[in-house]
Amino acid sequence: MVYDVIIAGSGPAGLTAAVYCGRSLLKTLVIAGSVPGGQLMLTTEVENFPGFEEPILGPDLIQRMRKQGERFGAEFIQDDLTSVDFKTRPFKVNTTGTTYETHAVIIATGASAKWMGLDSETRLRGKGVSSCATCDGFFFRGKETVTVGGGDVAVEDTMFLTKFVNHATVIHRRDALRASKILQDRAFKNSKISFIWDSVVEEVLGQQKVEGVRVRNLKTGKQHVLKCDGVFVAIGHEPNTAVFRGQIELDQKGYIVTSNGTSTSVEGVFAIGDVRDFQYRQAITAAGDGCRAAMDAEKYLEEKGLRAH
């Protein structure tokens, strides 16, 4: 059996693509992953996804989107993608247990935030530890936050947080920021932002929620506790594209290169969401990508005379 479309990934991008592919009567398989749902599964309340007057939990939003895709006939398997073959047609997509064939592929495997690697950070993720200031900054109105990092994203996130928080502290392991000069100038002029140089977070403090961080100076070895209500980790994201290396064009950072909408370097393969977008990284922009890719895939199948029905 050959599918019309296989969608790799089950975050907002992949699930929206599933809805549109299903409604277009394309025979659609979603490889959801053994840990499905994408980064929204790590988010508590979502307030910026249109259509929800009250906040909705990230996992609940994902569940609703999946049920909508299933209602329109998309099949789901909870398995991990292990390899692909885009050099033969139909394309071959391999999981841990099975090989599937398809005329078109929509890649929605997303990107994973880089974390500090602390047990306390993992335990308090979603309870004051976040990797997305634009997603969660609103919840820290009138509070104190810490941003870990020194690049453009760290400074931009901190500037954004100052719209809500009383004060934001940037902790950076070097003695100077890596961010662009214009961003540095803005941050240094912002009275709500302070900096701790040559330092790392050794531990995030708190049991049920973030209450502070233990900071260590890399040059002196001295430690101190800084009280805060939230920790935003901004040390980068890594696209989940390892399985596609050698099969499709990636940029220097590993993101999939797209053109003409959602098309990749391989005709019939499309990429959407955070796996190609390192700028916006929002659930709603990923969902919009999912719509576009489904329409692009349907048009491709029609033009090639490949769709099954």
Q: Which residues are catalytic?
A: 132, 135-136
- DSSP character for 128? T
H/E stretch holding 3 reads strand 2-8
Angle formed by the axes of helices 12-23 and 58-71, nearest 10°: 20
**What's the order of all strands across the beta sheet hosting 129-130?**
129-130, 230-233, 144-148, 167-171, 193-196
Q: How far is CA 284 from CA 105, 133, 202, 213, in A?
A: 21, 15, 34, 32
Which residue, 15, 75, 19, is CA-closest to 40?
Answer: 15
SS3 272: coil
Q: What is the 3-state secondary structure (H, E, C) of 38-53?
A: HHHHHCCEECCCCCCC
Q: Determine contact, residues 308/4, Cβ cutoff 8 Å.
A: yes
Q: Which phi and psi angles does 230 have, rounded to 5°? A: -150, 150
DSSP for 150-211, written as a single string: -SHHHHHHHHHHTTT-SEEEEE-SSSS--S-HHHHHHHHH-TTEEEE-SEEEEEEE-SSS--
Amino acid at 300: Y
- Reduce the DSSP state of residue 287 to 3 states and report it: helix
